[in-house]
Amino acid sequence: MPDRKPTVQDQVDIYAQHAPQVRRLATRLTGNPQDAEDLTQDVFERVFTSLDRYEARNLAGWIHRITTNLFLDKARRAGRQPTSALTPAHEERLADGGSLPGDLIHDAGFDSDIEAALATLPSHLRVAVVLADVEQLEHAEIALVLGVKVGTVRTRVHRGRAALRRELAHREPRAGRTRVLGALGV
């Protein structure tokens, strides 16, 4: 959009197209709907104030990068890992109900113990795992989003998955139980 100043309609179109993905990613990164909504708002504020300078070819990738970087910046500033004091069941009751059907289907895939396990990961590992396993980005794409080397991404994804396996060990099959399509591929 560098050839003209973005219009309000451009902003509306961008928001309509990208908000569900940003909200979903923000929810996975922050661990709760309230922080995710704040992060989503911050992302689009940044997108719209920077849109006239945007020159890359991949708008979705640029928005992913903004989302991830804002999350990491907030986590660093807070000096702690963002977590929710509410259980996922309580969070669902408090949700604003404005989710699209596709969001609900996508979000229905994670049990509360998987959400809790993700929340235990340090933010740099959580981001890598969420971008790789939930958002299905290639390691090279994640490296671009995070501004790190591909090897660093591989290490973070590997360590994050290993930590998730430990956190989800209670889901492992025991004698007499059959394993059905492992949890989250971990």
d(CA 152, CA 175): 37
CATH number of 109-172: 1.10.10.10
Domains in the chain: boundaries: 1-79, 109-172
Q: How far is CA 108 from CA 41, 89, 101, 103, 177, in A?
A: 23, 12, 11, 8, 24
Which fold does the domain 1-79 belong to in CATH? Rna Polymerase Sigma Factor; Chain: A (1.10.1740)
Predicted local confidence at residue 100, as pLDDT: 40
pTM for the whole thing?
Answer: 0.63
Predicted local confidence at residue 53, as pLDDT: 82
Predicted local confidence at residue 152, as pLDDT: 95
Q: How far is CA 182 from CA 2, 49, 64, in A?
A: 46, 43, 28
Predicted local confidence at residue 15, as pLDDT: 94
Predicted local confidence at residue 44, as pLDDT: 95
Torsion, Cα of 11, 131, 70, 40 (10° steps) = 40
Predicted local confidence at residue 70, as pLDDT: 93
Sign of CA dihedral 2, 70, 42, 61: positive
Q: How far is CA 76 from CA 70, 80, 122, 130, 139, in A?
A: 10, 7, 11, 18, 23
**What does the pLDDT profile of the chain (186 residues) look like in tens digits?**
555 677 888 889 999 999 999 999 998 888 888 999 999 999 999 999 988 888 767 888 889 889 999 998 888 887 654 444 344 444 444 344 444 433 433 444 567 888 888 889 998 999 999 999 888 889 998 888 888 999 999 999 999 999 999 998 887 776 665 555 444 555
Using alpha carbons, select from 51, 75, 50, 70 the residue that is nearest to residue 145. Answer: 70
